[in-house]
Amino acid sequence: MDKDTIQIAKEVASESNMSVSKLVKSLILEIDKKRKKKNSVLEKFKDIEISPEIQSLTGILKGKYPDDITLWDAKYEYLKEKYDL
């Protein structure tokens, strides 16, 4: 680390009445908590069973549209047909 960063860390730690090591530890734990929070949404729904009605809809549009079409291409085609262009 450069000297300026170390000095800032010392000042912040001093203002928070803690050592630089504890400051770094708390920052790392805070980052880890945020990271786990992001993943917790997926974990929450991971074990939910999907009803047969919903599973029957899986792949319903597969093959209906080419893989290389974009939203803008689809919108253009729709408007072209709608306004007879």
Domain limits, the chain = 3-48+59-82
* Dist. CA 37–CA 62, nearest whole Å: 33
pLDDT, residue 73, reads 84
Instruction: Collect all residues with Cβ–Cβ distance below 8 Å to 23 and sequence separation of at least 6.
Output: 9, 12, 13, 16
CA atoms within 13 A on the CB side of 24: 9
Q: What is the dihedral of CA 66, 70, 73, 74, to 10 degrees?
A: 70
Consecutive 10-residue averages of pLDDT for the chain (85 residues):
89 91 92 77 74 81 70 86 86
pTM for this predicted structure: 0.43
